[in-house]
Amino acid sequence: MADKVLMKGNEALAEAAIMAGCKHYFGYPITPQTEVAAYMAKKMPKTEGGVFLQAESEIAAINMVIGVASTGKRVMTSSSSPGISLKSEGISYLAGCDLPALIINVQRGGPGLGGIQPSQSDYFQATKGGGHGDFHLLVLAPNSVQEMVDMVFKGFDLAEKYRMPAMILSDGTMGQMMEPVSLEKGVINEYDKSWALTGTKGERKPNIVNSLYISPDELEKLNFERYERYKKIEETEAMYEEYLMDDAEICIVAFGVASRVSKNAIDIARKEGIKVGMIRPITLWPFPKKVLNDAADKVNKFISVELSMGQMIEDIELAIRCKKEVLLCNRTGGMITTTGDVLDKIYEANGGKN
Amino acid sequence: MVVFEKPNALTENTLHYCPGCTHGIIHRLVAEALDELGVTGRTIGVASVGCSVFTYNYFNCDMVQAAHGRAPAVATGVKRSDKNNIVFTYQGDGDLAAIGTAETVHSAARGENITVIFVNNAIYGMTGGQMAPTTLPGQKTQTSPYGRDVEAVGYPVKVCEMLSQVDGATYLERVAVNNVANVKKAKAAIKKAFQNQIEGKGFSLVEVLSTCPTNWGLAPDKALSWLEENMLPYYPLGVYKDKYAEEK
């Protein structure tokens, strides 16, 4: 295991991307993700074949990503909420063209220009597509600086395996905070890239990267094919972490920074004899539906802890088929739930203190 | 003896363009240039949105289809992925001079080593003839049914003139394909725009004045006359910038 170093989340993520063999990064300044671009600006020119380019807009940046992705090379862009809205057009094209790429969203409060403090209110945008048309993104939600690193490798691997864009849904807390991190190279497997635009060299038929299909029959068939792939991903790639769930009567569901606050509250409640545990989705799409549905047969209540007006809660209710009540513990607009907020919600679910 | 044949850089597919449309000529000129320069096998083209949306079916090289206006940004990615790629975009006036203005100006400003083929026919063709950024003052279209009123909607964008003020641009020329002499000049300009890229000279754009008989509501021969009488005075042909010629 590599020695631990103290790093900011955004910088650790950027370093991980370089370690992962990503030689192309396109970005545009926006708080609170700018450290990613700044790190890339410093390191890419010193990396063999490395390209850092500050685009004229988020729209241009994601289209530059499409350009590199179409040639079969590993490529990344990062932004924060308002910038991701601008990238949404390109994200839909990436999905429609079956191109792998890694997109980082260091979320801030919204809607509109919103604020610059951490938020999780882009959950819907990330997990329900975020652009036009039938498609999904792989969505990874780290809850530590270490996971900011690990998710980069995972994200590239899954994106290339399934030929689709992946997003790391981080937030201002994950991006800005410093933690000890082990910069260890993760696994990215080799996948077929015979589709890539590398020039025909006069030796093969042209490759075409395209999302336009005038015939509805053809387009429907492609969407069906893509959703077969999505089904396989939902069955095999959902990631989650369980915490004290063996005997839990109350199940907290939280991701990212909200899961860390929740863990503190759970530890306190446990000392008071309340049987509460947590299921932390690590992939938000695919959403860990099965483990939640299984838990619904054992626990009495769920609590969704999120930094939004309640977005993931809808997926929890769907996953458990509304078999149990799901309470919402939330702050929004850049405010963060406190341990006390979560603890109060645990008491409510428990019918008071023990 | 074969004295005239299809360039290798064009596929066997039948073009979908309307009768009398000059896209076919421009496709051929681009294909001839690629073949003559011997770069078809390492060329990656970027299709745009508009009538030229299907160019990926017509050029016999690797192709990527870009979102409306974004072709120069996509081309930037393709070129930066491997500088040995010969990269071109093929865009119409709505794509390049309206929705894609930022991508056009900034790829020029960066001096991206790419070739842009800009087809200006003063109208949106694919969507059925709406006012374009290059629609002439007074010109009637579906969305300027009383003629383009410059008091209300402003003036046409002159792309070559505008980009000539951008330091990063290398070569800008406006040509037309209205007669044999001009077609030959257009061919020379397009070939030079690719030659520049091969030599690493930077951003080259060739604006090709073109017709749209269908949406102009004119027979093909009358459309050519309309281009000569109306477009040529407003959009003068010629070289607007040639960085390396200036340095000689």
Q: What pLDDT band is residue A125 in, cutting at 50, 70 and 90? A: very high
Are residues A40 and A189 both part of a single domain? Answer: yes
Nearest CA in chain B to A208: B63
Q: Are residues A301 and A230 in the same domain?
A: no
Domain boundary assignment for chain B: 23-247
Mean pLDDT, rounded, of chain A: 97
What integer pLDDT is reported at residue A1 of this predicted model? 65
Task: Give me the domain span that covers residue A51.
Answer: 4-201+222-236
Q: Distance from B156 to chain A by nearest Cα, in Å?
A: 24
- In the prediction, which pLDDT does B227 show? 98
The residue in chain B having the minimum alpha-carbon distance to the alpha carbon of residue A74 is B81
Number of domains in chain A: 2
Do the chains contact at B67 and A63, CB–CB below 8 Å? yes
Residue B142: predicted pLDDT: 97
Low-confidence ranges of chain B (pLDDT < 70): 246-248
Same domain, A149 and A276: no
* pLDDT tens-digit readout, A161-186: 999 999 999 999 999 999 999 999 99
List the CATH number of the domain containing A249: 3.40.50.920
Asked whether residue A55 falls in the same domain as residue A180, the answer is: yes
B9 lies within 8 A of chain A by CB: no
| Residues B73, A201: C-beta atoms closer than 8 Å | no
DSSP B88-134: EEEEEHHIIIIITHHHHHHHHHTT-S-EEEEEE-SSBTTTTSBPPTT
Task: Give percent above pLDDT 90 in chain A.
Answer: 98
B86: closest chain A residue by CA: A199
B45-61 per-position pLDDT tens digit? 999 999 999 999 999 99
ipTM, interface predicted TM-score of the complex: 0.96
pLDDT computed for residue B246 by the predictor: 63
User: What percentage of chain A reaches a pLDDT higher than 70?
Assistant: 100
CATH topology of domain B23-247: Rossmann fold (3.40.50)
What is the CATH number for A193?
3.40.50.970
| Residues A163 and A183 both lie in one domain | yes
Chain A residues with beta carbon closer than 8 angstroms to that of B65: 97, 208-212
B186 touching chain A per CB within 8 A: no
Please, what is the angle between helix A58-70 and helix B101-109, to 10°?
A: 70
Residues A92 and A73 both lie in one domain: yes
Please compute the mean of the pLDDT values over residues A59-76 and round it to a whole number: 98
Same domain, A99 and A157: yes
Please tell me whether residues A129 and A173 are part of one structural domain: yes
**Alpha-carbon distance B38 to B56, whole Å?**
19
pTM strictly above 0.95: yes
A217: in domain? no
pLDDT score, position A219: 98
Q: What pLDDT does B248 receive?
A: 56
pLDDT surpassing 60 at residue A324: yes
Confidence at residue B3, expressed as pLDDT on a 0 to 100 scale:
82
B71: which residues sit within 8 A by CB, 6+ positions away? Answer: B46, B47, B48, B89, B90, B91, B95, B96, B100, B103
In a domain, A308, yes or no: yes
| Backbone phi, psi, residue B218, to 5° | -130, 150
Q: Is residue A109 part of a domain?
A: yes
CB-CB: which of A26, A89, A197 is closest to B78? A197
| Residue A153 sits in the same domain as residue A18 | yes
Which one of A236, A260, A294 terminates a domain? A236
* Residue A287 in domain: yes
- The shortest C-alpha distance from A131 to chain B (Å) reads 13
Quick one: pLDDT at residue A354?
85
Per-residue 3-state assignment (H helix, E strand, C coil) for chain A: CCCEEEEEHHHHHHHHHHHCCCCEEEECCCCCCHHHHHHHHHHHHHCCCCEEEECCCHHHHHHHHHHHHHCCCCEEEEECHHHHHHHHHHHHHHHHCCCCEEEEEEEECCCCCCCCCECCCCHHHHHCCCCCCCCCCEEECCCCHHHHHHHHHHHHHHHHHHCCEEEEEEEHHHHHCEEEEECCCCCCCCCCCCCCCCCCCCCCCCCEECCCCCCHHHHHHHHHHHHHHHHHHHHHCCCEEEECCCCCCEEEECCHHHHHHHHHHHHHHHHCCCCEEEEEECEEECCCHHHHHHHHCCCCEEEEEECCCCCHHHHHHHHCCCCCEEEEEECCCCCCCCHHHHHHHHHHHHCCCC
Chain B closest CA to A24's CA: distance in Å?
A: 8
